[in-house]
Each structure stands twice: as structure tokens, then as C-alpha cells.
């Protein structure tokens, strides 16, 4: 029987990140997860689909389709104001 449901530790090993990172992603609902008896669990197929979605987002970002939007840490600039002087 394969493990269709993963623990935080197993997901962390699979993604090669810390358990804390997986826990934080789960709490913030940024990774598909659910709780059983107060402990986070993850469906293997959901994690695979989530990885695919992350990859698709990265490809779209590098293809230039989002290049007109400001970068995350870049301030948004409105129209330039000129003084009447």
C-alpha cells in the first residue's frame, strides 16, 4: 500500500524544505492540506498538483505575460505630477 496521505515531515523531505516551512504554508492555506486530530496532513496527489501549479506560475512569469505589472517589492508609481511653477 502506498502512502496517499503525507505528514509534515514527509512533505518537507519531498519538497526539500524545513518542517517549519511546510507548517507555515499549511497554516496560511498556501499549500493544500487538512487536519486530522489537530495534525496537518497532505494528499500526495494534491501536493503534486500544487507543484505543477507553482511551476506553471513560474513559467508564466518568465514568459513576459506579466512583465507589465510592478515587481513585488517595487513601489507602484502613479502619473507624474508637475508643479505649476
Three-class HEC string of 1-69: CCCCEECHHHHHHHHCCCHHHHHHHHHCCCCCCEEECCEEEEEHHHHHHHHHHHHHHHHHHHCCCCCCC
Whether residue 68 lies inside any domain: the answer is: no
Residue pair 30/64 in contact by the 8 Å Cβ criterion: no
Looking at the domain assignment, is residue 15 inside a domain? yes
In a domain, 25, yes or no: yes
Q: Is residue 81 part of a domain?
A: no
**Number of other CB atoms surrounding residue 26 within 10 Å:** 19
Q: What is the pLDDT of residues 21-53, one digit of tens each?
A: 999 999 999 999 999 999 999 999 999 999 999
User: What CATH code is carried by the domain that includes residue 48?
Assistant: 1.10.1660
Domain presence at residue 39: yes
Q: Domain of 42?
A: 5-62
The answer to the question of residue 38 being in a domain is: yes
How many whole angstroms separate alpha carbon 35 and alpha carbon 33? 7
Whole-number average pLDDT of the chain: 84
Domain total for the chain? 1
Amino acid at each position: 500500500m502506498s502512502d496517499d496521505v503525507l505528514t509534515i515531515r514527509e512533505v518537507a523531505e519531498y519538497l526539500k524544505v524545513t518542517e517549519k516551512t511546510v507548517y507555515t504554508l499549511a497554516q496560511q492555506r498556501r499549500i493544500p492540506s487538512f487536519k486530522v486530530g489537530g495534525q496537518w496532513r497532505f494528499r500526495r496527489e494534491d501536493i503534486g498538483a500544487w507543484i505543477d501549479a507553482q511551476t506553471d506560475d513560474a513559467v508564466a512569469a518568465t514568459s513576459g505575460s506579466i512583465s507589465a505589472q510592478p515587481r513585488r517589492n517595487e513601489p507602484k508609481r502613479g502619473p507624474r505630477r508637475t508643479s505649476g511653477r
